Amino acid sequence: MDFLYLNQWAKSIVKDNNLDKKQYYLIESVLGQSLQYAIDKKYIGENPFDRVKVSKKMFQHKKKPDNGKQVFLVNEQKLIAEAARYKFDHCTWCITPLIVLLNFQLGLRIGELVALKWEDINGNYITINRMETTTHRVDDSGGVLPDGYKVVSYVKSEAGYGDVYLNNIAKSLLSEIRKANLKCGYYDGGYIFIASRTKKRGTSRTLTKYLEDLCDYAGVDNKSNHKIRKTYISSLFDSGVNINTIREQAGHEDEKTSLNNYCFDQKDVSEREKELEKAANKRMDI
C-alpha cells in the first residue's frame, strides 16, 4: 500500500459509496491508526496515508434536517408542558413528567439525566460527572445482547464534564421532585429520577417510553430526548447566549458542533414567515 494506491483507493471509496465528510473520516481514522500502529511496531518506516488528501468537493453534501423534526416547536413545547403538568397533578407519585420538563431546562444527554444525584447540585449549578450505559451478555451462540443498565463514573467525552446552570424554572422543578420523592418514600442511592413502578433509579428506557406516550397524549409527533437537548441548545442561541457558553453548557468539544448540529428554528412556518416579512428592506423606495 503505497501513496499512489491509497490515494486512488480513498477517492474511489468516496465516489463509489457517495460518502459524506463524516463517513469518510470514520473510515480514514481506522486505516490511518492501523498504519500508525505498524510504524510504532517498526513494520514500516512511514505512513503513506498521511499524504492522502480528498477534495471537499467530492463529499456528498447533506441538506440540514427540517427544523420541525429536530426540535420541539414552540407550540409543541406548550402542549408537552400542559400534558406533563396534567399527568403529574393527577398522579403525584410519578415524577417522570417533571423529569421530562426538567430536561427542557438542562438539555442533558439521556444517560447523564438519569444518572443525576442530589449531591450534584451546587448552588446555581448541577455537576455532570457520570452517566448510564448499557450492559451486555453473551448468549449461547456467542452473540452479544443488551442486558440492562448501569451507572459509570465517566461521561461521553472530556468536554462532557462540567457544571450546567440551573435557572429558576429548573430549581422549581427540582424542588417539586424532591418533595414528591420524600412524600412517597423514594430513595435509591441519592438519584434524582426514581421510577414509581420499581421505586428504583429510573433508566433511559423508562424515560424514553414515557416520553413517547407523553408525545402521543399531547398530540405532537414523537420526538426523543435528544430532540429536547436540541431544543434547549436552540433556545440558548435564540436568547443570544455567547457561543462558547453554549458549547460549555452542551458539553461539546467545539463550537462548530453546537452551531452546525444543534441550532434549529423552533418557530413554525407561519411564524418564520412573519419574521421574514418584518425583516423586509423597507429602505427601498418601491
- How big is the chain by its Cα radius of gyration, in Å? 24
Higher pLDDT, 277 or 223: 223
Q: Are 215 and 223 in contact (CB under 8 A)?
A: yes
Cell numbers for 168? 429558576
Q: What is residue 131's predicted lDDT score, i.e. its pLDDT? A: 97
- Tell me, yes or no, if the pTM score tops 0.75: yes
Q: Are 174 and 154 in contact (CB under 8 A)?
A: no
Higher pLDDT, 177 or 30: 177
Helix (H, G, I), strand (E, B) or coil at 136: strand
pLDDT above 80 for 3: yes
Least Cα distance to 10 among 40, 32, 33 occurs for 32
Beta bridge partners of 195: 200
Span 90-94, average pLDDT: 97
Higher pLDDT, 197 or 142: 197
Provide the 10 A C-beta neighbour count for residue 129: 16
In tens, the pLDDT along 227-259 reads: 999 999 999 999 999 999 999 999 999 999 999
Report the alpha-carbon distance of residue 82 to residue 77 in Å, rounded. Answer: 9
Span 43-56, average pLDDT: 90
Q: How confident is the model at residue 2 (pLDDT cuts 50, 70, 90)?
A: confident
Span 184-201, average pLDDT: 96
Residues 6 or more apart whose Cβ sits within 8 Å of residue 162: 127, 128, 248, 251
Q: How confident is the model at residue 146 (pLDDT cuts 50, 70, 90)?
A: confident
pLDDT above 70 for 286: no
The length of the chain in residues reads 286
Report the alpha-carbon distance of residue 33 to residue 37 in Å, rounded. Answer: 6
Span 46-74, average pLDDT: 88
Least Cα distance to 101 among 206, 216, 231, 188 occurs for 231
Report the alpha-carbon distance of residue 62 to residue 255 in Å, rounded. Answer: 20
Q: Tell me the percentage of the chain whose pLDDT exceeds 70.
A: 99
Helix 204-218 crosses helix 74-90 at what angle (to 10 degrees)?
110
Mean pLDDT of the chain: 93
For 64-88, letters b (16+ CB in 10 Å) and e give eeebbebbbbeebbebbbebbeebb
Q: Are 130 and 153 in contact (CB under 8 A)?
A: yes
Report the alpha-carbon distance of residue 233 to residue 164 in Å, rounded. Answer: 12
List, in order of start, the domains of the chain with CATH numbers: 3-58 (no CATH), 67-262 (1.10.443.10)
Span 150-174, average pLDDT: 95
Q: What is residue 280's predicted lDDT score, i.e. its pLDDT? A: 87
Q: Tell me the percentage of the chain whose pLDDT exceeds 90.
A: 73
Q: What is residue 10's predicted lDDT score, i.e. its pLDDT? A: 92
Q: What is residue 180's predicted lDDT score, i.e. its pLDDT? A: 98
